[in-house]
Amino acid sequence: MPYPIAFLIFGISILFSNDARALVNGRPLEQNSDLVRLKFHNGFVCTGFFIDRESIVTAGHCLKGQKPSSVELLRAGETRLVDVKALEFLIHPLYVAKRKSKHDLGVIHTTPYAEFQGIYKIGVDAKLYKRNMPCVLHGAGKVNLNPKKYGFSQGENNCRSIFDMWLYFGASKNTDNLGKNVSTAPNDSGAPILNRDGIVIGIQTKSSLSWTFNTVFPSWSVGVRLDESSNFSLLNSTKSKTSSSIQEFISTLDREKVEYYWQKPEGEGAFPVMIYVHGHQEGERKGGKSYVDCGVLGNDTKKGFVSIAISLPGYGHSSGPADFSGPRSKNALISMIKLLKKKPYVNSKKIFVQGISRGAIVAALVAMREDLGGAILISGAYNLSKLYEDISTAKSIKSAMREEMRIDEENLVLRSASLQKKVSRTPFLVIHGETDSKTPFDQAEEFYRRMKSQGAEIELRKIKSGHKIPLKERSETIAIFIRKVLAGSEQQRK
């Protein structure tokens, strides 16, 4: 085909891309009440499905920039409203407003849904996910160019797993094999991808399929995989978990406000504690709220932990500005620990702190002066003088340092755990990516050697990863460390 004609067709297809049909080549789906259409006041339309009486799963981009009050929930294929009210939107914190993102995932918390059937079951067993496998798509988008007429359809395709996402290809409208080789249209974003046994293994998120002069141009579509650990954690963030996480504030000695979220198991305790200290957050700086949104606090309480997530200065609703893990950040964590030690339901000898990136810097500095149950440090920097001078350090890190602190020897040493003289009895677990380009692995290695020479109890785990270490790559290591530390403290008590 001559290039000018090809570009003309491509341009026209983009022009009409919002009028794509739901599940092109699909066939009617047997009616169920758990698949719903999301209709927003600005005209945006998506699909979603109930996974319990109070939770609808959909695509993250469907909820981006929207409010719960702006959505109508309709039965798929009908104009009848579902008798529930949207209360809260949760969007995966790692979603970066790109439909191809492997974290393009959202949850709508609603009032109880009386017609819930329990049709859609989420599957995360590795056996359910193969590199190349048949999959079934459900959709509730447009049937034709009439924007008021929506379908309720299903069809099969072959899903290919690439970069933790599903990829599948559509076919033209004129195919003779109806119900086979279907593709997703924009209005089907958020609809489920199932295996042949009816287990949900993904969410439809993106298609470049389009109508042009009443003809469908075939192309590729993508979907989110649900076995990715942080995606599954978000789906575990049910309404009950979110509502039972309490937001409160404490004041530091400098009278600065520190936001934190907490949740405790049922009973009187005394319970062990896990305090989470976040890293830098691009875009919306939610601070500790990001751990609530992913269901981390609720998961910890199931394991018998009081779970806390603080917001560092400049993040969430804590007093700002940010100080790149400086004195104000340290005071925020120290104030949190002092408060917890006074709580009757807390075992003060079993307070753990877990920090990521700049949160790991803060956690390391505090854990070196406080005797804690344990400190888990992930992708941190422990010698900021060396970090700033290192030509391989990412420009974004150096830029943030210059913006948030004065660059001189005193300030760099103040934030460098490897350069501190005091060493506490806190056990340390250091986890670091082998190919970390933001905080090089030798930062962790130097800290480990220095602490070991001082007689500290410390472990170093090198992970084949960059700066962002996948949850599934570190969760088992952390669990083993915690079990070992808790078992050791029990032995000492006896």
Q: Tens of pLDDT along 189-247?
A: 899 999 988 899 999 988 765 444 444 444 578 889 988 777 877 776 554 444 467 88
Q: Which amino acid is at 428?
A: F
| The pLDDT of residue 430 is above 50 | yes
User: Any residues with CB less than 8 A from the CB of 345 and at least 6 apart, and which?
Assistant: 264, 267, 268, 269, 270, 271, 306
Given pLDDT bands bounded at 50, 70 and 90, which one contains residue 34? very high
Fold classification of 244-493 is: Rossmann fold (3.40.50)
What's the rounded mean pLDDT across residues 473-486?
Answer: 92
What's the rounded mean pLDDT across residues 464-490?
Answer: 88
Tokens linked to 263? 């949740």
Just give the CATH number of 3-227.
2.40.10.120
Are the beta carbons of 57 and 105 closer than 8 angstroms? yes
| The pLDDT of residue 150 is above 80 | no
152-196 pLDDT, tens digit each: 888 888 888 888 888 887 654 444 444 466 777 668 889 999 998
Q: Which amino acid is at 38?
A: L
Mean pLDDT of the chain: 83
- The distance from CA 216 to its chain's CA centroid, rounded to whole angstroms, is 35
Find tokens 């999959």 and name the residue: 135
Tokens linked to 415? 């934030």
pLDDT at 93: 82
Given pLDDT bands bounded at 50, 70 and 90, which one contains residue 31? low
pLDDT at 148: 59
pLDDT at 186: 65
pLDDT at 213: 43
What's the rounded mean pLDDT across residues 411-424?
Answer: 92
pLDDT at 6: 40
Report how far residue 206's alpha carbon sits from residue 227's, in angstroms, rounded to the nearest whole number: 19
Q: Could you list the beta-strand ranges (E) of 59-174.
A: 71-75, 86-91, 106-110, 121-122, 132-139, 153-162, 165-169
pLDDT at 193: 93
| Least reliable range by pLDDT among 13-22, 335-344, 380-389 | 13-22
pLDDT at 155: 84
Are the beta carbons of 243 and 295 closer than 8 angstroms? no
Kind and range of the H or E element at 88? strand 86-91
Given pLDDT bands bounded at 50, 70 and 90, which one contains residue 19? very low
| The pLDDT of residue 3 is above 50 | no
Report how far residue 212's alpha carbon sits from residue 389's, in angstroms, rounded to the nearest whole number: 56
CA distances to 160, 341, 487 from 344, rounded to whole Å, are: 52, 8, 22
Report how far residue 185's alpha carbon sits from residue 151's, in angstroms, rounded to the nearest whole number: 12
CA distances to 311, 329, 354 from 279, rounded to whole Å, are: 10, 12, 11
262-286 pLDDT, tens digit each: 999 988 879 999 999 999 998 778 8
Of residues 60 and 146, the one with the higher pLDDT is 60
Nearest CA-CA partner of 347 in 247, 428, 274 = 274
Q: How many CB atoms lie within 10 A of CB 282?
A: 8
In the chain, CATH 3.40.50.1820 covers: 244-493
pLDDT at 492: 59
pLDDT at 200: 93
Q: What percent of the chain has pLDDT over 70?
A: 84
Are the beta carbons of 318 and 291 closer than 8 angstroms? no
- Max mean pLDDT range (172-181, 361-370, 467-476): 361-370
In the chain, CATH 2.40.10.120 covers: 3-227
Are the beta carbons of 318 and 240 closer than 8 angstroms? no
- What is the three-class DSSP state of 135? strand
Residue-by-residue DSSP string for 265-318: -SSS--EEEEEEE----SSS--TTHHHHHTTHHHHHHHTT-EEEEE--TTSTTS
| Least reliable range by pLDDT among 59-68, 76-85, 472-481 | 76-85
Are the beta carbons of 155 and 23 closer than 8 angstroms? yes
Report how far residue 216's alpha carbon sits from residue 45's, in angstroms, rounded to the nearest whole number: 20
Q: How many CB atoms lie within 10 A of CB 68?
A: 14
pLDDT at 229: 73
pLDDT at 310: 97
117-128 pLDDT, tens digit each: 889 988 877 778
332-360 pLDDT, tens digit each: 999 999 999 999 999 999 999 999 999 99
User: Any residues with CB less than 8 A from the CB of 298 and at least 6 apart, and which?
Assistant: 236, 237, 238, 241, 242, 244, 245, 263, 307
What's the rounded mean pLDDT across residues 313-322?
Answer: 90
